[in-house]
Amino acid sequence: MLQSFRLALKSIWSNKVRSFLTMLGIIIGVAAVIILVSIVNGYMSYMTESFASMGTNQISVRLVNLSSRYATVDQMYDFYEEHSNLFSQMTPNVSVSASVKHSGDTMDSTSVTGVSEEYIDMVDKKLEAGRFLSYSDVSSRQKVAVLGYYPAVELFGSADQAVGEKVLISGYGYTVIGVIECQDADNLEDGGTDDVVYIPYSTAVRLARSGIPSSYTFATVNTQTETTSAATEALETFLYSIYKDDDLYDVTAMSEMLDSLNSMISQMSLMLGGIAGISLLVAGVGVMNIMLVSVTERTREIGIRKALGARPGVILQQFVLEAITTSVIGGLIGIGIGCGVCSLVGQFMDFSAPPTFSAIVVSFSVSVLIGLVFGYMPARRAANLNPIDALRSE
């Protein structure tokens, strides 16, 4: 076995260019599988983290309020309190289309949202300065605002300087009581994650002239699937009793969205890995062709070895080992290139894509299998050569 391996390495080294061209398909195939699967998995992890930051225990409710059928804030809070075993927090959400102004500076793309005092804990955000909305702010419809980091810096220079100052929202003066901690320092821009303003929802409904909030967010007591399913079912039953039409409301659990997203991305990963794997099959055909050429070129050598007493099994072993060695070397080079490219992905994208261990193992195993399968036929042909005919070959 060791002698056959040495002969295989000698044969590969003596035909370096041809061997490299034979390996090229293996190298490209293995690298492509590792790169594509790792990028897809990296993106899946990025999306999972993004959803987790939004709260995987959250349930979003969207309502279509009609003049004859609608759910009031009091009704929603009564339902929330009756199901304290399922829900830990709740907030109405009221989006306001408004500009934010201060001393001649105007921000038109800032997201202004009315929320309750529980919102900051639901989204797990922290304060840079000041405080968040309180129950008294909401119940008494106070004109107070909590700024995101971006408008605080743009309008006042810093978070600390913003607290206690006034901003105009739709022409009405609001006192800044707090500033949210910076969420994305690399994207401090108009319309970004930090370009937000939060005001009491009770004040926001007047600005929006909607009268009744049409959006709510609930947080379940835990992230268990059973709890989420029970909470979703309870909400749908309650809303149906009011609206009598399930087209007038939508209940969406973040965890269910995340599961669906992960399922889709996993299927995409398998599909892309399969497509990249096709190149490995093409590489296998290349290995077989080169091995057939090698057998033809070394027919006289094979005849001499057989005349000296080499058994067919030894000849078969030598050529199979040569094919496998070629595939193994190509696979290792492909792994190195694939891992190298994956490490560079993070420098050009917003997410990291570390090499996936399963992709490395599968692609390398397939490359070795290809060497074995596609190298067997030429090796068998060499082993079955008649020594006399082989010696006559020129």
Q: Which of 131-140, 302-311, 352-361, 373-382 has the lowest mean pLDDT?
A: 302-311
Burial grade of 376 (CB within 10 A; 0-12, 13-18, 19 or more): middle
Q: Is 103 left (phi over 0), alpha (psi -120 to 50) or beta?
A: left
Which of 170, 124, 164 has its CA nearest to residue 146? 164
Is residue 355 within 8 Å of 339, Cβ to Cβ?
A: yes
Q: What pLDDT, on a 0 to 100 scale, did the predictor assign at position 164? A: 92
Alpha helices in 299-386 (DSSP H): 299-307, 312-348, 357-383
d(CA 279, CA 133): 58
Q: What pLDDT, on a 0 to 100 scale, did the predictor assign at position 374? A: 75
Q: What pLDDT, on a 0 to 100 scale, did the predictor assign at position 8? A: 59
User: What value does the mean pLDDT take over residues 341-352?
Assistant: 75
CA 362 to chain centre: 21
Q: Which of 39-53, 169-183, 184-198 has the lowest mean pLDDT?
A: 39-53
**Neighbouring residues of 70: CB distance < 8 A, sequence distance ≥ 6:** 63, 212, 242
pLDDT at 390 exceeding the cut of 60: no
Q: What is the pLDDT of residues 376-387, one digit of tens each?
A: 777 777 667 666
Q: What is the pLDDT of residues 89-131, one digit of tens each?
A: 999 999 988 889 988 888 888 899 999 999 998 888 889 999 9
CA 56 to chain centre: 15
pLDDT at 393 exceeding the cut of 70: no
Which of 386, 380, 157, 391 has its CA nearest to residue 288? 380
Which of 202, 102, 92 has its CA nearest to residue 151? 102
Sign for the CA dihedral angle at 174, 177, 180, 186 comes to positive
Would strands 172-180 and 249-253 be described as parallel, antiparallel, or unpaired?
Answer: unpaired
Torsions phi, psi for 134 (to 5 deg): -115, 170
Q: What pLDDT, on a 0 to 100 scale, did the predictor assign at position 299? A: 66
Torsions phi, psi for 295 (to 5 deg): -65, -45
d(CA 175, CA 142): 9
Average pLDDT, the chain: 82
pLDDT at 134 exceeding the cut of 80: yes
Considering only the C-alpha atoms of the chain, give the largest distance between any 2 of them, rounded to a whole number of Å.
106
With helix as H, strand as E and coil as C, how does 117-183 read?
A: CCHHHHCCCCEEEECCCCHHHHHCCCCEEEECHHHHHHHHCCHHHHCCCEEEECCEEEEEEEEECCC
Per-residue burial over 292-304, b = 16 or more CB atoms within 10 Å of its CB, e = otherwise: eebbeebbeebbe
CA 153 to chain centre: 31
Is residue 326 within 8 Å of 12, Cβ to Cβ?
A: yes
pLDDT at 394 exceeding the cut of 60: no
Helix, strand, coil in percent for the chain, rounding step 5: 60, 15, 25
Q: What is the pLDDT of residues 37-67, one digit of tens each?
A: 888 878 777 776 666 666 678 899 999 988 8
pTM here is 0.64
Q: What pLDDT, on a 0 to 100 scale, did the predictor assign at position 181? A: 92
Q: Which residues pair with 290 in a beta bridge?
A: none
pLDDT at 310 exceeding the cut of 60: yes
How many other CB atoms are found less than 10 A from the CB of residue 241? 10
